[in-house]
Amino acid sequence: MRAFLIILLGGMAAAYLFILVVDPFDIFPFSLPMERPIVSTSDRFMYPQIVRSRRFDSLVLGTSTSRLLDPNLLDQKFHAQFANLAMSSARAWEQMAMLDLFLRTIGPPKVVIIGLDTVWCDREADRDRITFRGFPDWLYDDHPWKGFPHLLNYATFEIAVRLVGWHLGLYPERIRYDGYEVFVPPESEYDPVRAHDMIWGGVPAPPAEPRSMPAAQRAQLRFPALPWLDAALARIPSGSLKILAFMPVNVAAQPMPGTIDVDIEAECKARIAAIGRDRDAKVIDWRIPSVLTRNDLNYWDRLHYRVPIATRIADQLAAAALTGQEATDGSYVFLVH
């Protein structure tokens, strides 16, 4: 028993020391001075180190519908250094935690782009703050010592081993250090028939009798995430360029005409526009029926557009935000110029 305990505790201590020295999350001042690329599969765990690197003065927030916005393209358009910190299925609270870390660590961004999605209009946003993936709030804290109790686990040990493997040429970098990753399949594998099935499979039929929500009832709607957005934008001075952009999901993912969901989303958009107006932010809406969102060939599924479309959106976003250019094809509209 004594030998067993010595081996067990000694092995745990060695693993813990290895994690602390390698420091895969780059949070301790005494760790090895080495490059730490993104080798983890969890963006929520790895993005804080991108912020703490202080290499970037601008950022993109959002869900997976914003992840294909290439920071290199945005850098050229806005003359800034962007990091794309959008996370898969990110809740509004998680996005605000990321923005808060950026503001505390780096300060006011030169440009902030918040890709708006249904999470901001979620009427249970204050209850559903995180996903099933969990959220490492200790990595978003200013006190590194709070991370000590969370490090001794297999997942962290595996990331540390991957990091060492990268330095030895045995493990590849998972995503670019600015957070950009093409998470959709290669364009050569695009299948329009499969995409059509992914987009329209399970979409209910239109209602036989259209329904609407009275104005008085719309005024009583509760969107818990919007005060968080208002408070966050209030912390960013007017010298920063603030952009709120509804991302262009396919019409199959937008509220079905004739349902009260149309009124709920319209009310949420109106309140976001009011926040943008009060906080000197531009609000641009691609989440509308248009030649872009009605064309299934632009999408892999009802939420995720293809890489060439992402390039087009980045170009349009820059032109709209910097020069006020209107969409010639009606693919987006200004809610707040």
Letter string b/e over residues 9-27, b meaning 16 or more CB atoms within 10 A of that residue's CB: eeeeeebeeebbebbbbbb
Percentage of the chain exceeding pLDDT 70: 100
Burial of 167 (0-12, 13-18, 19+ CB in 10 A): middle
Domain boundaries, the chain: 43-144+178-184+191-202+209-336
DSSP SS3 for 54: coil
Residue 41: is its pLDDT beyond 80? Answer: no
Provide mean pLDDT across the span 94-104: 97
Query: Mean pLDDT in the chain?
Result: 94
Count how many residues are written for the chain.
337
Question: With a threshold of 0.85, does the pTM exceed it?
Answer: yes
From residue 332, how far is each of 118, 178, 296 by CA, in Å? 17, 27, 17
Dist. CA 169–CA 246, nearest whole Å: 40
Q: What angle do CA 327, 331, 336 make, to 5 degrees?
A: 65
Q: What pLDDT is recorded for position 50?
A: 95
Lay out the sheet containing 333-336: strands in order across.
Answer: 82-84, 58-61, 111-116, 241-246, 282-285, 333-336
Dist. CA 224–CA 78, nearest whole Å: 32
Dist. CA 16–CA 10, nearest whole Å: 10
Provide mean pLDDT across the span 227-241: 97
The answer to whether 242 and 236 have CB atoms below 8 angstroms apart is yes
Q: What would be the CATH architecture of the domain defined by 43-144+178-184+191-202+209-336?
A: 3-Layer(aba) Sandwich (3.40)
* Sign, Cα dihedral of 34, 35, 41, 47: positive
Provide mean pLDDT across the span 59-82: 98
Lowest mean pLDDT of 39-43, 84-88, 125-129, 295-299, name the range: 39-43
Which of the two residues, 155 and 334, has the higher pLDDT score? 334
Structure tokens at 272: 């976001």
Residue 235: is its pLDDT beyond 90? Answer: yes
Provide mean pLDDT across the span 59-68: 98
Q: What pLDDT is recorded for position 29?
A: 82
Confidence of residue 208 (pLDDT cuts 50, 70, 90): confident
Dist. CA 200–CA 89, nearest whole Å: 20
DSSP output for 279-316: TT-EEEE--SSSTTTT-GGGBSSSS-B-HHHHHHHHHH
Give the single-character DSSP code of 327: P
The answer to whether 34 and 18 have CB atoms below 8 angstroms apart is no
Dist. CA 246–CA 119, nearest whole Å: 11
Q: Which among 291, 292, 299, 87 has a CA at the least distance from the CA of 187?
A: 299
Dist. CA 214–CA 216, nearest whole Å: 5
